[in-house]
């Protein structure tokens, strides 16, 4: 079991980087559709209100969490199919 977990570490890191890039792209597209604005607000944007900043943050967090869980679960399933053991 330890060997599978150790072997999965670099795969998990790669999947994490890929999921971050995918989640970022999905968030940018979602914000464009939702707010009709190319740029999502940052917390320090002086010209943006609390409501807009908090909505953008909540949307971004939800997208990142769902993409991360999906990618990690899919990666773990692939490892199980290849090795017969669930990484963990």
Residue 1: is its pLDDT beyond 80?
A: no
Between 66 and 86, name the one with better pLDDT.
Answer: 66
Q: Which residues 6+ apart lie within 8 Å of 50 measured at CB?
A: none
Q: Does 6 or 60 have the greater pLDDT score?
A: 60
- Convert the pLDDT of each residue in 66-82 to its tens digit: 999 999 899 889 888 98
The residue range of the domain holding 7 is 2-83
Residue 88 is assigned to a structural domain of this protein: no
Which tens digits make up the pLDDT trace of 47-64? 999 999 999 999 999 999
Render pLDDT for 13-44 as a digit per residue (tens, 0 to 9): 888 899 999 999 999 999 999 999 999 999 99
Q: What is the mean pLDDT of the chain?
A: 90
Where is 69: in which H helix or E strand?
helix 50-83
**How many domains is the chain built from?**
1
């Amino acid at each position: 079991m330890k060997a599978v977990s150790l072997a999965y570490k670099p795969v998990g890191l790669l999947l994490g980087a890929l999921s971050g890039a995918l989640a970022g792209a999905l968030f940018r597209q979602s914000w464009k559709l939702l707010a009709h604005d190319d740029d999502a607000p940052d917390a320090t944007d002086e010209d943006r209100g609390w409501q807009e900043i908090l909505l953008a943050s909540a949307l971004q967090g939800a997208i990142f969490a769902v993409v991360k869980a999906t990618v990690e679960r899919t990666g773990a399933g692939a490892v199980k199919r290849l090795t017969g053991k669930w990484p963990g």
